[in-house]
Structure 1
């Protein structure tokens, strides 16, 4: 992701009427430059030293607004009891390991054509799609064999 993506997030918050505090802008920057699928607690841990006045409530509020605006997806629970967020809203699948709870992206250009076929068959204007696979990642499978 890029600086342009961070600016899109910030513009979305501005349009939603939220004040553009340094904390909110930092949340946007971290998300826009992340390939991870962070939780609110992970974002808080990453930013709290730079922003001592930052609260989890600010992070949740910002994530909720970005989700409502379609800038991030709520992935929900990855088996670790926490809600994860995906800043990559382009068509792709997510792979969630049921053992270590790591989330990975699977870029699959075929997903775009699936959405087009669904739109054509259903008459729906497709606004987005999410595909999540659950399984055991190679690292966990290897540890299990030993």
Structure 2
């Protein structure tokens, strides 16, 4: 979380309790939250928090390369994550849940791509789309899928 706050300082943003909370929420989340999810999670603690502050903070972190975005997970919203280590994202096309899937094979694939292509790999995004176990079994958000 501290590297996120340091990045905001370097970008010239004031470090407010709200921005610290945004960074903390993002750093601790495994849910790949949207700006709206972060906003609603922090609103009870910070009633004066604006959605614009959440978006501005996330956009600065994104521009600095301190967070990744997972574009549209089928819900029309941009999802954010602070985990920059190589991993696979799994996206449920029904409930839009996004989960990380760590796989050692990714590092071997990355090395092979670099060796065969001559590229200096600086990052990769691997996303698989499908049905999560819950939706595959006919349930979503605790209700039967028809």
Q: Give the TM-score taking structure 2 as reference length.
A: 0.90
1:86-122, Cα deviation, whole Å (9 max, x unpaired)? 2211100000010111111110111122222222223
Give the 5 Å matches for 1:1-146. Answer: 6-143=1-138
Write the distance in 2 (CA, Å) between the matches of 1:119 and 1:10.
32
**Aligned-pair RMSD on alpha carbons?**
1.6
Q: Give the TM-score taking structure 1 as reference length.
A: 0.90
Give how far 1:32 is off: 1.0
Q: In the alignment, is the contact (CA less than 8 A) between 2:27 and 2:81 conserved in 1? A: no
